[in-house]
């Protein structure tokens, strides 16, 4: 029964078989082509070579770089991250500890060997106004903030090695989050106050010729033990001032970079800011220990100046002879009831600076 | 113990962003955070190439080294996880990470970033209950014996995840199959010098 319909089915089947055979042989050719390196190279994604990866590592992104993450300004590989980590963990962290530890050790040794610097002459009982209430408030505000910032900063850098094993997770977690909040919110206040106090004390801390002689005598340590000339601020105090005016301001500025990510500064800027911030702050903390020692335990009569505002005439004569010459007319007698009592200086204090 | 790794075969990645979407869906990540991203180099040029990037769960992870609160830690199987209860949002992990993996929900004044979030290799994180874990870190597919959803859903199987040895074996097989003189890195002018496909077939 060969109807036209059956013939149609036959030819259709034959044609289909041919097509299948043809495509099979074609796919064999394709498979062979894939195994041929030359053919493969001509169709593969070209040039993902060393040059491309070098460019990726350099952080360049170029005009035809795309990142699917919303608002992302990241490159593919943040190569500077590892550099930052190495500088922070291998250099800044251990050497900061060494600097602060060495300073503490030096102070202890100095105290044990040389001891406290007492006044050479007996106190005269007459006092000079050295620090006004505004200056003392500024000083103690900056000092308190500095100590809080130094302790919280040290905790951020070294805390995990000490307090986690000591306190356990729960206390330690809240301690760390409190530390960060404290550091980030107090920091800007410190920065503003530092600028104000630097401006207030600028004139007294301008370098003078007699400062050079002060250095040559090591502030009185070298030589006959005679006090070198000093005006309101001696050369050592001026060094502390200018350290704060340089390193201190660098720490403040880099702190602002770290503290305000809302301005969109990139990772590289924050890496560098972090290194500057850490080196500056650790260095200043070490030097501050010296400042604290000299101002309290190290020198008789210094702390009462910053506490009450008044220093003894003898102290002024010995430590700040040039200032004493200018200010001695305003000396007040503590035993004289007609004079204003200590701690409450006159409403408009007269003080030569 | 297996060491878990991601690997993205750049020759296969078609920049469909399926991995990004899968991740977002599997982990219900916070608005504004995208744990996985797709980077395209030389977009529109003949040399265009794409690669999917997230946390690569580094062996010597820089984020762990710099974290001041030990928020980040590594499991025995190499997965790097984070403990949101410890994170203070300082951003150090973000400075250090080579892959831009750590992200923060906000970037406000006074360093108010919120708690860091990053890819967990779909292994969740430390929490009291399963619900809390899912809410804080997203899915824990590893605990269910599954691989990260990004890799499982990759349409071209460019993104591989799993035991480093298995991932390496699959990639090595591909290199052999491709038959490049220089392995996966086609177009290398030094192709004749180092026949990686040949080496791979011997080692595989």
Cβ of B62 and A79 within 8 Å? no
Q: Are residues B158 and B171 located together in one domain of the fold?
A: no
- Region A140-147: what's the mean pLDDT? 98
Partners of B11 on chain A (C-beta within 8 Å) are 44-45, 48
Q: Is B204 on the interface with A (CB under 8 A)?
A: no
Tell which wins on pLDDT, A349 or B152. Answer: B152
Partners of B40 on chain A (C-beta within 8 Å) are 64-68
Among the partner residues B47, B110, B179, nearest to A34 by beta-carbon distance: B179
- The DSSP letter of residue A261 is G
Residue A32 confidence (pLDDT): 46
Residue B192 confidence (pLDDT): 52
Q: Which range, of A109-123, A331-345, B167-181, averages the lowest pLDDT?
A: A331-345
Q: How confident is the model at residue B11 (pLDDT cuts 50, 70, 90)?
A: confident
Closest to B62 (Cα-Cα) out of A77, A180, A99, A94: A77
The domain in which residue B172 lies consists of 164-203
* φ and ψ at residue A53, rounded to 5 degrees: -70, -30
Which of 47-86 (B) contact A at CB < 8 A? 47-49, 51, 53, 62, 65-70, 85-86
- Chosen for mutation from A32, A54, A68, A189 (greatest number of chain B CBs closer than 10 Å) is A68
Is the pLDDT reported for residue B130 higher than 60? yes
Q: Are residues B64 and B137 located together in one domain of the fold?
A: yes
Cβ of B178 and A66 within 8 Å? no
| Residue B41 bridge partners (DSSP) | B49
Among the partner residues B66, B177, B189, nearest to A88 by beta-carbon distance: B66
Label residues A18-47 b or e (16+ Cβ within 10 Å = b).
eeeeeeeeeeeeeeeeeeebeebbeebbbb
Residue A8 confidence (pLDDT): 75
Q: Are residues A33 and A100 located together in one domain of the fold?
A: no
- The answer to the question of residue B1 being in a domain is no
- Region A76-97: what's the mean pLDDT? 95
Query: Which residue of chain A is at minimal alpha-carbon distance from B104?
Result: A261
Determine which helix (DSSP H) or strand (DSSP E) holds B53, and give its type and residue range. Answer: strand B49-53
- The answer to the question of residue B48 being in a domain is yes
Q: Are residues A258 and A302 located together in one domain of the fold?
A: yes
Q: How confident is the model at residue A21 (pLDDT cuts 50, 70, 90)?
A: low
**Integer Cα distance of A16 and A3 in angstroms:** 20
Residue A223 confidence (pLDDT): 72
Residue-averaged pLDDT of chain A = 87
- The answer to the question of residue B138 being in a domain is yes
Tell which wins on pLDDT, B173 or A344. Answer: B173
Among the partner residues A48, A159, A262, nearest to B186 by beta-carbon distance: A48
The ipTM estimated for the assembled molecules is 0.87
- The answer to the question of residue A346 being in a domain is no
- Region B162-184: what's the mean pLDDT? 79
- The answer to the question of residue B183 being in a domain is yes
Neighbours of B103 (CB within 10 A): 24
Residue B124 confidence (pLDDT): 96
- The answer to the question of residue B5 being in a domain is no
Q: By the 8 A CB rule, do B139 and B122 touch?
A: yes
Closest to A47 (Cα-Cα) out of B17, B182, B97: B182
- The answer to the question of residue B127 being in a domain is yes
Residue A74, burial from CB neighbour count under 10 angstroms (0-12, 13-18, 19+): buried
Residue A62 confidence (pLDDT): 83
- Distant-in-sequence contacts of B44-49, Cβ < 8 A, 24+ apart: B44/A64, B45/A64, B46/A46, B47/A45, B47/A46, B47/A47, B47/A48, B47/A52, B47/B187, B48/A45, B48/A64, B49/A45, B49/A48, B49/A52, B49/B10, B49/B11, B49/B13
Cβ of A82 and B98 within 8 Å? yes
- The answer to the question of residue B174 being in a domain is yes
Q: How confident is the model at residue A23 (pLDDT cuts 50, 70, 90)?
A: low
Q: Which range, of A69-73, A102-106, A239-243, B55-59, averages the lowest pLDDT?
A: A69-73
Residue A87 confidence (pLDDT): 97
Tell which wins on pLDDT, A74 or B1. Answer: A74
Residue A25 confidence (pLDDT): 53
Partners of A168 on chain B (C-beta within 8 Å) are none
Q: By the 8 A CB rule, do B54 and B37 touch?
A: yes
Residue B135 confidence (pLDDT): 96
Query: How confident is the model over A108-138, as pLDDT tens digits?
Result: 999 999 999 999 999 998 999 999 999 999 9
Q: Is B37 on the interface with A (CB under 8 A)?
A: yes
Q: Are residues A169 and A313 located together in one domain of the fold?
A: yes
Residue A59 confidence (pLDDT): 83
Counting the structural domains of chain B, the total is 2
Q: Are residues B155 and B185 located together in one domain of the fold?
A: no
**CA distances from residue A335 to A126, A130, A350, B15, B68 in whole angstroms, order as listed:** 8, 19, 20, 88, 56
Q: Are residues B113 and B129 located together in one domain of the fold?
A: yes
The domain in which residue A20 lies consists of 4-44
Cβ of A270 and B91 within 8 Å? yes
Counting the structural domains of chain A, the total is 2
| CATH number of the structural domain spanning residue B146 | 3.30.70.20
Residue B204 confidence (pLDDT): 43
| CATH number of the structural domain spanning residue A303 | 1.20.950.20
Could you tell me the sign of the dihedral formed by the alpha carbons of A23, A29, A34, A40, in that order?
negative
Partners of B159 on chain A (C-beta within 8 Å) are none
Query: How confident is the model over A276-314, as pLDDT tens digits?
Result: 999 999 999 999 999 999 999 999 999 999 999 999 999
Residue A346 confidence (pLDDT): 47
- The answer to the question of residue B3 being in a domain is no
- Region A45-56: what's the mean pLDDT? 70
Among the partner residues A45, A64, A264, nearest to B186 by beta-carbon distance: A45
Residue B195 confidence (pLDDT): 55
Q: Are residues B24 and B62 located together in one domain of the fold?
A: yes
């Amino acid at each position: 029964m060969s109807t036209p319909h059956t013939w149609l089915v036959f030819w259709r089947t034959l044609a289909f078989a041919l097509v299948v055979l043809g495509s099979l042989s074609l796919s064999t050719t394709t498979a062979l082509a894939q195994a041929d390196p030359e053919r493969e190279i001509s169709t593969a994604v070209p040039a993902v070579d060393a040059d491309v990866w070098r460019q990726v590592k350099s952080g360049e992104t170029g005009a035809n770089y795309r990142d699917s993450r919303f608002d992302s300004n990241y490159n593919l590989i943040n190569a500077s991250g590892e550099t930052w980590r190495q500088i922070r963990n291998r250099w800044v962290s251990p050497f900061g500890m060494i600097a602060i530890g060495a300073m503490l050790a030096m102070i202890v040794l100095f105290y044990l060997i040389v001891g406290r610097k007492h006044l050479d002459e007996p106190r005269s009982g007459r006092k000079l106004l050295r620090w006004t209430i505004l200056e003392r408030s500024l000083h103690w505000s900056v000092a308190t903030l500095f100590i809080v910032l130094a302790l919280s900063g040290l905790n951020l850098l070294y805390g995990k090695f000490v307090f986690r094993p000591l306190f356990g997770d729960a206390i330690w977690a809240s301690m760390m989050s409190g530390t960060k909040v404290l550091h980030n919110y107090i920091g800007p206040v410190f920065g503003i106050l530092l600028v104000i106090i630097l401006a207030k004390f600028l004139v007294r801390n301008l370098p003078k010729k007699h400062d050079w002689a002060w250095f040559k005598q090591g502030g009185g340590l070298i030589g006959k033990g005679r006090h070198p000339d000093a005006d309101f601020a001696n050369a050592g105090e001026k060094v502390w001032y200018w350290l704060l005016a340089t390193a201190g301001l660098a720490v403040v500025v880099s702190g602002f970079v770290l503290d305000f990510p809302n301005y969109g500064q990139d990772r590289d800027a924050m890496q560098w800011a972090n290194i500057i911030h850490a080196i500056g702050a650790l260095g200043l903390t070490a030097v501050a220990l010296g400042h604290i020692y000299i101002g309290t335990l190290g020198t008789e009569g210094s702390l009462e100046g910053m506490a009450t505002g008044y220093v003894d005439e003898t102290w002024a004569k010995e430590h700040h002879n040039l200032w004493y010459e200018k200010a001695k007319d305003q000396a007040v007698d503590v035993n004289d009831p007609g004079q204003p009592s200590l701690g409450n200086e006159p409403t408009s204090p007269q003080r030569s600076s | 113990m297996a060491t878990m790794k991601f690997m993205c075969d750049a020759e296969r990645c078609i920049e469909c962003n399926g991995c990004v979407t899968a991740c977002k869906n599997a982990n219900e990540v916070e608005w504004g955070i995208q744990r996985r991203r797709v980077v395209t180099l030389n977009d529109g040029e003949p040399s265009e190439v794409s690669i999917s990037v997230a946390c690569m769960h580094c062996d010597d992870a820089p984020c762990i080294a710099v974290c001041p609160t030990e928020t980040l830690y590594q499991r025995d199987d190499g997965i790097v996880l984070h403990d949101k209860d410890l994170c203070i949002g300082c951003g150090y992990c973000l400075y250090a990470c080579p892959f831009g993996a750590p992200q923060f929900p906000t970037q406000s004044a006074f360093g108010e970033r919120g708690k860091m979030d990053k890819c967990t290799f779909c292994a969740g994180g430390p929490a009291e209950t399963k619900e809390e874990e899912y809410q804080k870190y997203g899915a824990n597919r590893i605990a269910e014996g599954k691989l990260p959803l990004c890799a499982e859903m990759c349409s071209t199987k460019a993104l591989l995840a799993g035991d480093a040895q298995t991932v390496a074996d699959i990639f090595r097989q591909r290199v052999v199959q491709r038959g490049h003189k220089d392995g996966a890195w086609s177009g290398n002018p030094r192709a004749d010098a180092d026949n990686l496909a040949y080496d791979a077939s011997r080692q595989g």
